[in-house]
Amino acid sequence: MRVLVINWQDWTHPFAGGAEFHLREVFGRIARLGHRVDLLCTGYPGAPNDDQLEGINILRRGQRYRLFNYLVPGLYRRILRHNDYDVIVDDLNKIPFLSPLFADKPVVALVHHLLGRTAYHETNPAFATYVWLGERPISRVYRHAPFIAVSKSTEDELVRRGVRREQITVVPNGISDGPFDELITKEKSPTPLFVYLGRLKRYKAIELILEAFALLSDDYQDARLVIAGDGDHRSQLERRAAATGAGRIEFIGWIGEEQKWELLRSAWALCYTSPNEGWGISSLEAQRVGTVAIVSDAPGLRDTIVAGETGWAVPHGDVQSLVATMKRAISEPQERHRLELAGIERAKRYTWDAAAAETLAVLETASGKSV
The predicted-structure confidence for 214-257, as pLDDT tens digits, reads as follows 999 889 999 999 999 998 899 999 999 998 877 799 999 999 98
**Cα distances (angstroms) measured from residue 320 to each of 137, 215, 323, 326:** 39, 9, 5, 10
Helix (H) or strand (E) holding 149: strand 147-149
- Asked if domains 2-174+352-367 and 180-347 share a fold, the reply is yes
Q: Which architecture does CATH list for 180-347?
A: 3-Layer(aba) Sandwich (3.40)
Measured distance CA(14)–CA(331) in Å, rounded:
40
**Tens of pLDDT, residues 123-179:** 656 666 766 677 788 999 999 999 999 999 999 999 999 999 999 999 999 998 888
Q: Under CATH, which architecture does the 2-174+352-367 domain have?
A: 3-Layer(aba) Sandwich (3.40)
**Helix, strand, coil distribution of the chain in percent, nearest 5:** 45, 20, 35
Q: What is the chain's length?
A: 371
Average pLDDT over residues 17-38: 94
pLDDT at 193: 98
Q: Quick one: pLDDT at residue 124?
A: 58
pLDDT of residue 19: 87
Coil, strand, or helix at residue 219? helix
Domain segments of the chain as ranges: 2-174+352-367, 180-347
| Tens digits of residue pLDDT in 304-348 | 999 999 999 999 999 999 999 999 999 999 999 999 999 999 999
Q: What is the mean predicted confidence (pLDDT) over 66-94? A: 89
pTM, whole model, 2 decimals?
0.85
Neighbours of 271 (CB within 10 A): 29
In angstroms, the CA 272 to CA 256 distance is 20
Beta carbons of 359 and 37 less than 8 angstroms apart: no
- What confidence score (pLDDT) does residue 114 get? 79
User: Which alpha helices (H) appear in 118-166, and where do they start and end?
Assistant: 125-135, 138-141, 152-160
